[in-house]
Amino acid sequence: MRSPSYLSELFSLDGRVAVVTGGSSGIGRAIAAALAQAGASVVVVARKEAELAATVDALTAKECRAAWVSADLSTRDGVRAAAEQASAVFGEPDILVNSAGINLRPPMGEIGDSVWDATMAVNLEAPFLLGQRFGPGMAERGFGRIIHITSQQAHRAFVQSGAYGVSKGALESLARSQAEAWSPYGVTCNTLVPGFVMTPLNARLSSDPHKVAELAARTMMGRNGLAEDFAGAAVFLAGRASAYITGQAIFVDGGLSVH
Ligand SMILES: NC(=O)c1ccc[n+]([C@@H]2O[C@H](COP(=O)([O-])OP(=O)(O)OC[C@H]3O[C@@H](n4cnc5c(N)ncnc54)[C@H](OP(=O)(O)O)[C@@H]3O)[C@@H](O)[C@H]2O)c1
């Protein structure tokens, strides 16, 4: 018999609290909007206040529950302050999305300490520290969802992957370690793997029409990714429907990685 509540039992995020780092731009912003529209109360975390406020205003205009915290995730103190401020708004999160990321692209031989440290701090250490802060609580409450945004560069070299690719490869390993630790307690930990997505992160490549067309041709869909392409996968991984999926890397890349 058809049940009107069947889909909401699988996918609704009503009553859930989500923290989305990098939620003010690109993929993170699209994911924050998706989770909020699926019912979650969402706190977006990034540095620039104007972008954060605009994101939250757009969500509250749609009658979603959303708030923002401005924090610099490139330092341990910044991450810890962000975690406390974010969990003070709607309570401890059920869902953590790590989308904040940076891609500094000096050629391999020119990568110095500062590029290495900055990349690892934002792309890897912040997700680790946030997991340490929120994962045990999720496990204790018997439900949690940790979703990291990695990259095709976790799997192969691509336009000077340098330190960035290393950080994303490690982030996939972190997801597996977190999954091993907390899955028995109802906390799934997975990664979404983008291909090439037209966002401010890759403004340089995105503004070169020749490069854009070339990259689109490498996908199976014949187009590059849009931030909105991550909405469905994020809602799925954040909800009850994905309860038996953990430690996985799910490619949202139009077939780029298998072409
Ligand atoms: N676009 C792609 O093609 C692509 C491909 C593969 C993977 N990815 C990954 O997808 C994720 C999202 O990327 P995107 O393309 O959506 O990038 P984006 O539009 O540049 O957004 C990056 C977000 O991270 C925040 N952020 C950066 N540094 C931060 C810091 N130190 N502290 C706090 N927040 C910080 C930014 O806000 P503030 O600047 O205000 O802090 C922004 O909200 C990243 O992890 C990226 O590596 C993207």
User: What's the confidence (pLDDT) of residue 20?
Assistant: 99
**What is the 46 CA–ligand 1 centroid distance (Å)?**
9
202 lines ligand 1 (CB under 6 A): yes
User: What's the confidence (pLDDT) of residue 203?
Assistant: 85
Radius of gyration of the chain (CA): 18
Phi, psi of 86 (to 5 degrees): -65, -40
105 lines ligand 1 (CB under 6 A): no
User: What's the confidence (pLDDT) of residue 173?
Assistant: 98
192 lines ligand 1 (CB under 6 A): no
127 lines ligand 1 (CB under 6 A): no
171 lines ligand 1 (CB under 6 A): no
**What is the 21 CA–ligand 1 centroid distance (Å)?**
9
**What is the 191 CA–ligand 1 centroid distance (Å)?**
15
User: What's the confidence (pLDDT) of residue 204?
Assistant: 84
Task: Give yes or no for a contact between 205 and 211, defined as CB atoms under 8 angstroms apart.
Answer: yes
DSSP class per residue in the chain = ---TTHHHHHH--TT-EEEEETTTSHHHHHHHHHHHHTT-EEEEEES-HHHHHHHHHHHHTTT--EEEEE--TTSHHHHHHHHHHHHHHHSS-SEEEE---------GGG--HHHHHHHHIIIIIHHHHHHHHHHHHHHHHT-EEEEEE--GGGTS--SS-HHHHHHHHHHHHHHHHHHHHHGGGTEEEEEEEE-SB-SGGGHHHHT-HHHHHHHHHHSSSSS-B-GGGGHHHHHHHHSGGGTT--S-EEEESTTGGG-
99 lines ligand 1 (CB under 6 A): yes
Q: Distance between CA atoms of 96 and 14, rounded to whole angstroms?
A: 15
Provide the residue-wise pLDDT of the chain in tens; the chain has 259 residues. Answer: 889 899 999 999 999 999 999 999 999 999 999 999 999 999 999 999 999 999 999 999 999 999 999 999 999 999 999 999 999 999 999 999 999 999 998 999 999 999 999 999 999 999 999 999 999 999 999 999 999 999 999 999 988 889 999 999 999 999 999 999 999 999 999 999 999 999 988 888 888 999 999 999 999 999 999 999 999 999 999 999 999 999 999 999 999 999 9
User: What's the confidence (pLDDT) of residue 202?
Assistant: 86
User: What's the confidence (pLDDT) of residue 161?
Assistant: 87
User: What's the confidence (pLDDT) of residue 132?
Assistant: 98
Task: Kindly report the protein residue whose alpha carbon is nearest to atom 43 of ligand 1.
Answer: 22
Task: Give yes or no for a contact between 100 and 45, defined as CB atoms under 8 angstroms apart.
Answer: yes
Substitution site in 80, 201, 223 for ligand 1 pocket (most atoms within 8 Å of beta carbon): 201
For the question of residue 164 being annotated catalytic, the response is yes
101 lines ligand 1 (CB under 6 A): yes
**What is the 221 CA–ligand 1 centroid distance (Å)?**
24
Task: Kindly report the protein residue whose alpha carbon is nearest to atom 33 of ligand 1.
Answer: 46
Structural domains of the chain sorted by starting position, each given as residue range(s) with its CATH number in brackets: 11-253 (3.40.50.720)
Which of 6, 164, 185, 244 does the annotation list as catalytic?
164
